[in-house]
Amino acid sequence: MEKNIAVIKGDGIGPEIVTEAMKVLDKVAEKFGHKFNYEQLLMGGCSIDANGVPLTDETIERCKAADAVLMGSIGGNTTTSPWYKLPANLRPEAGLLKLRKSLGLFANLRPCVLYKQLSEACPLKKEIAEKGFDMLIMRELTGGLYFGERKTEEVDGVMTAVDTLSYNENEIRRIAIKAFDVAMQRRKKVTSVDKANVLDSSRLWRKVVEEVAKDYPEVTLEHMLVDNSAMQLVKDPAQFDVMVTENMFGDILSDEASMITGSIGMLASASMNETSFGLYEPSGGSAPDIAGQNKANPIATILSAAMMLRYSFKMDKEADAVENAVNQALENGFRTGDIMSEGMTLVSCSGMGDKIAELI
């Protein structure tokens, strides 16, 4: 099978970690008889430097023409980089928001898995970490506060900022359907997170999710308020299977979940539209402090590539092979600096990529 992949390496550690994911994909292609064609594109700070804007229309069109997008990290140091002296609509992150909107990427999937080999890196109590957990947080990605109307103005002599949180029933229904579809492939439980005791948007969210649930009688649905969800993630993460929530809540909860896995460098991510098309990226940032030093952990990006194989290309065996190789590399004691512990073997970013590729 031949697939065309738009590659956005981005800024900071982005080029390093994406290179290792491509290395692993090339090994998959070799072993399973596929051909992956890569087209490298610019977005973020590197696009600002080259084109004056974080995302060009041409890049959007090239992404649309591909079968999937593989991305690294964008942005830089927010206090020292000249990119952050620009207006908000010209900063690196504006390019990512525009790309998500342009490609219709409304569903963000973040698997949060605590590997048994990394249980000591988990900051939770030993008895919690030893139970392990395997959850998937599905975040609505193109609505809510981040895309609502906003303004800052003087009202009665006082500067006042307004951000609008808005959802319609269609936006909620499509993310709920995605969540229940994924739950059917997992342990058949959905936890819908909202703030229905306060927000109208959450009350509509809960109503629509309950309507969708009627079409999935095999899936158990529970509702949980967002503040309780934050507590439960650190108290008993093993209780969760698929967690679905709106944009801002999902942004916060998925970052919380990433840290209890031991390192954000382990957290993959997929953003999908209503078809099988998706953008695949690690959940972590561009880490400019270690950029170019071959220290970054590429596992999240490699696992994101595995998600691309599974969800966009329908290559389940190939995705399994990548995930098993990651597990075996950890079992063999190989660690990058962020997950290093006593008795393990420290490897570089490229070294970890080599080890995982060898194990495919």
Choose, from 146, 167, 280, 311, the residue flagged as catalytic: 146
Domain membership of residue 150 (yes or no) is yes
Helix (H, G, I), strand (E, B) or coil at 208: helix
Termini Cα distance of the chain: 18
Residue that terminates a domain, selected from 196, 228, 260:
260
Task: List the chain residues with pLDDT less than 70.
Answer: none
Q: What is the DSSP string of 279-295?
A: EE--SS---GGGTTTT-
Q: What is the DSSP string of 212-242?
A: HHTT-TTSEEEEEEHHHHHHHHHH-GGG-SE
What pLDDT was estimated at residue 129?
A: 87
| 129 and 103 housed in the same domain | no
Domain membership of residue 144 (yes or no) is yes
What pLDDT was estimated at residue 292?
A: 95
Q: Are 287 and 264 in contact (CB under 8 A)?
A: no
| 178 and 130 housed in the same domain | yes
| 101 and 148 housed in the same domain | no
Residue 349 CA: distances (Å) to CA of 76, 82, 293, 309: 19, 27, 9, 22
Domain membership of residue 117 (yes or no) is no
Q: What is the mean pLDDT of the chain?
A: 95
Choose, from 26, 134, 255, 354, the residue flagged as catalytic: 255
Residue that terminates a domain, selected from 260, 292, 309:
260
Contacts 24+ apart (CB under 8 A), 185-189: 186/136, 186/241, 186/242, 187/241, 188/218, 188/219, 188/220, 188/241, 189/219, 189/220, 189/221, 189/222, 189/240, 189/241, 189/242
User: Is 146 one of the catalytic residues?
Assistant: yes
What pLDDT was estimated at residue 144?
A: 95
User: Is 236 one of the catalytic residues?
Assistant: no
pTM: predicted TM-score of the whole model, two decimal places:
0.87
| 291 and 256 housed in the same domain | no
User: Is 295 one of the catalytic residues?
Assistant: no
Choose, from 195, 280, 311, 355, the residue flagged as catalytic: 195
| 129 and 218 housed in the same domain | yes
| 252 and 134 housed in the same domain | yes
Domain membership of residue 91 (yes or no) is yes
Give the span between the Cα atoms of 197 and 245, in whole angstroms.
15
Structural domain boundaries, residue 298: 1-108+271-360
User: Is 26 one of the catalytic residues?
Assistant: no
Choose, from 57, 163, 200, 227, the residue flagged as catalytic: 227
User: Is 320 one of the catalytic residues?
Assistant: no
Structure tokens at 291: 């950029």
Domain membership of residue 82 (yes or no) is yes
Q: How many helices (H) and strands (E) does the chain have?
A: 12, 14
What pLDDT was estimated at residue 288?
A: 94
Domain membership of residue 266 (yes or no) is no
| 302 and 282 housed in the same domain | yes
Domain membership of residue 114 (yes or no) is no
Structure tokens at 298: 């590429």
| 280 and 199 housed in the same domain | no
**CATH number of the domain bearing residue 190:** 3.40.718.10
| 29 and 5 housed in the same domain | yes
| 234 and 275 housed in the same domain | no
What pLDDT was estimated at residue 259?
A: 82
Residue that terminates a domain, selected from 231, 260, 289:
260
Number of domains in the chain: 2
Residue 216 CB coordination number (10 Å): 18
| 302 and 231 housed in the same domain | no
| 64 and 99 housed in the same domain | yes
Domain membership of residue 302 (yes or no) is yes
